[in-house]
Amino acid sequence: MKRKRILSGMQPSGPLHLGNYHGALKNWLALQEDYECFYFIADWHSLTTLYENPQLVRKYSFEVAVDWLASGLDPEKCTLFVQSRIPEHAELHLILSMIVPVPWLERNPTYKEKQTEVKGVDMSSYGFLGYPVLQTADIVLYKADLVPVGIDQAPHLEISREIIRRFHSFYKKVFIEPEAKISDIPKLNGLDGRKMSKSYSNAIYLSDTEKDIAQKIQSMFTDPARLRRTDPGDPDVCNLFPFHKIYSSRETQEEIIPACRTAQIGCGDCKKKLTQSMLAGMAPILERRQEFVAKPREVEEILAAGTKKAQAIARATLQQTKDAMKL
The reply on whether position 139 binds ligand TRP by CB under 6 A is yes
- Give helix 154-170 / helix 109-117 axis angle, nearest 10°: 130
- Among ligand TRP, ligand SF4, none, the one that 260 touches (CB under a kind-dependent 5 to 8 A) is ligand SF4
| In the complex, minimum distance from the CB of residue 144 to ligand TRP, in angstroms, rounded to a whole number | 8
Neighbours of 69 (CB within 10 A): 22
What single-letter DSSP state applies at residue 205? Answer: B
With beta carbons less than 8 A apart as the criterion, state whether 276 and 293 touch.
no
Between CA 78 and CA 305 the distance in angstroms is 11
With beta carbons less than 8 A apart as the criterion, state whether 213 and 183 touch.
no
The reply on whether position 164 binds ligand TRP by CB under 6 A is no
Between CA 272 and CA 249 the distance in angstroms is 14
- Catalytic annotation present for 216: no
Where in 7-36 is the site for ligand TRP (CB under 6 A)?
7-11
- Catalytic annotation present for 195: yes
Candidates 26, 198, 309, 322; catalytic one: 198
| In the complex, minimum distance from the CB of residue 115 to ligand TRP, in angstroms, rounded to a whole number | 16
Q: Which positions touch ligand SF4 (CB under 6 A)?
A: 222-223, 226, 233, 235, 238, 240-241, 256, 260, 265, 267, 270
Starting at the edge strand found earlier in the chain, the sheet holding 146-150 runs: 78-82, 36-41, 5-10, 146-150, 179-183
Q: Which stretch binds ligand TRP (CB under 6 A): 135-143, 246-254, 260-268, 308-316?
A: 135-143
Candidates 4, 77, 114, 143; catalytic one: 114
Residue of the chain from 20, 49, 84, 153 that contacts ligand TRP (CB under 6 A): 153
Strands (DSSP E) contained in 173-312 are: 179-183
- Among ligand SF4, ligand TRP, none, the one that 139 touches (CB under a kind-dependent 5 to 8 A) is ligand TRP
Between CA 131 and CA 142 the distance in angstroms is 18
- Catalytic annotation present for 26: no
Residues of the shown chain interacting with ligand TRP in the complex, contacts defined by CB under 6 A: 7-11, 42, 45, 135, 138-139, 147, 149, 153
